[in-house]
Amino acid sequence: MKVLYGARIFDGERLHDDCVLVIEGASIHALTSFGDRPLGGEQVDLGGGVLSPGFVDWQINGGGGVLFNANPTAEGIAAIAAAHRRAGVTAFLPTVVTDAPRVLGAALAAAREAHECVPGALGIHVEGPFIDPKRKGVHPPEFIRPMKDKDANALIAAHAGIMVVTLAPASVSLESIARLAKAGIIVSLGHSDATAEEAQSVFDAGASAVTHLYNAMSQLASRAPGVVGATLADPRVICGLIADGEHAHALAYRAALAAKGPRGIALVSDAMPPAAGGPDVFELQGRRMTRVGNKLTAEDGTLAGAAITMRDAIDYVVNVLKVPLADALMMATLTPARLLRVDDQIGRLKPGYRADLVHLIDDLQVTEVWTGGRALNEVDAAA
C-alpha cells in the first residue's frame, strides 16, 4: 500500500485540499481526508503541487526522435510511450497518418501487439488515408483514397484495442461511417471540407469526435458554418485541440472553450518526433520537416504536426489562455478518457480505477509519474 499526501489532488473533475490518495497494487484504493488516512504502508510526502490522473493523449504521431509511420512496430510504440511518459502521459493512441497501405497494415498489427505489452498503449488512431484531398494538410495526396468495403472490413477485423479513425465524407460513405461506429470504432471527422450539413450527417451516422478542431477543415462563416461551426454547435461531439499557440489563434481557442467547455474538448499533442526530447529535424515520407519553437513545418511552410507534449498543452491553456487549472486538467484526463470510452478505468481518481498518476509542481513541471501504481523508473526498468 502507498499513501500519497502533501499535494492538492485533482480527481478528474475537481481539486481537493487536505486529502490523500491510497494505492493498492495497480489500483486506487481510496481518496480520503488527511485525518482519515491509513498509517501503514509506504507514506509518500509529495511536498506540494498537484496530483492528477495521468494524461490521456489520443493523437501522438511520434516523440523522442521516433515517428510511428517510419517505425510501425511494437518497439516503435514502446519508444514513443517512454518519451511521452516522462511528460505525464500514461495512456495514448499511437497515430498513423496517411501512407501506403502496407504501412497502415503494419501499424494495425503493431498496435495490436503493443496493446498487450506496452504500458499505456491503448490501441491506435488511424488518421487517413480516407480523408478529403482539399484539406490534406501535410498528408501525401498520392495515398489519399476512398474507403472501400474491404478497407472497412480490415479496420473492423483489426482488433487493435481502442481504435479511432479520422475520416471525411468526401472519401467515406455515411453507410460505412455507421458500420464502423456500430462495430465499436470511434469515428472522428477531420481533414474535411464538408459543409455544416454534411458534418451533421456524419455525426448523425455515428461519428462522435472531431480531429484537431480548426485545422485542416472548413471554417465557420455566417452562412456557411462548415465543420468548425457544426462541431461547436453539437453537444454530442468531443473535439481535439492542439493547444500550442501555433495551430490556432488564442481567441479561436477561447471561442472553442466558451462553446464546448472542458467536457467537450480533449487536448492532444499531435506530437511528431521532435516532441519529448527529439531532434529538431526529421523526415516524413521523404520530406524534410523542421521545428522552430513549437512549430513544425514542411519546406513549403505547411504545418506538420506539433512539437509539444500534453504537459506543454496544459501549460499553454493555464498560463496563456487563463483557463482554471481544474478545467485544463479535465481536458487532459477525464474528457479524452470519455472520448475513448475508458472513463470507467482511467481519467479519474476513484476506487478501483488504475493508479495512473502524474505529480506536477506549482509551475506545472512533471516531477513523478505512476503507471499502474509503478513509478516512472520502475516502468522504464521493466520495459
Of 383, 332, 324, residue with least CA distance to 357: 332
CA distances from 287 to 65, 127, 129, 138, 245 (A): 16, 18, 18, 10, 24
Catalogue the long-range contacts made by 360-366 (C-beta closer than 8 Å, 24 or more residues apart): 360/49, 360/50, 360/52, 360/88, 360/311, 361/48, 361/49, 362/48, 362/49, 364/311, 364/314, 364/315, 364/318, 364/319, 365/311, 366/86, 366/87, 366/88, 366/311
Active site residue 270: yes
Give the three-state DSSP class for 104.
helix
Distance separating alpha carbons of residues 347 and 142, to the nearest angstrom:
38
Omega before 72 within 30 of 0, i.e. cis: no
Nearest residue to 258 via CA among 327, 183, 163 = 327
Other C-beta atoms within 10 Å of 220: how many?
19
Is residue 267 within 8 A of residue 331, CB to CB? The reply is yes
Say which of 57, 244, 270, 312 is annotated catalytic.
270
Q: Using an 8 Å Cβ cutoff, are 333 and 54 in contact?
A: yes
Please state, in angstroms and rounded to a whole number, the distance separating the CA atoms of residues 157 and 361. Answer: 43
The amino acid sitting at 299 is: E
Report the DSSP beta bridge partners of residue 267: 241
The one-letter amino acid at 353:
Y
Q: Which residues are catalytic?
A: 270
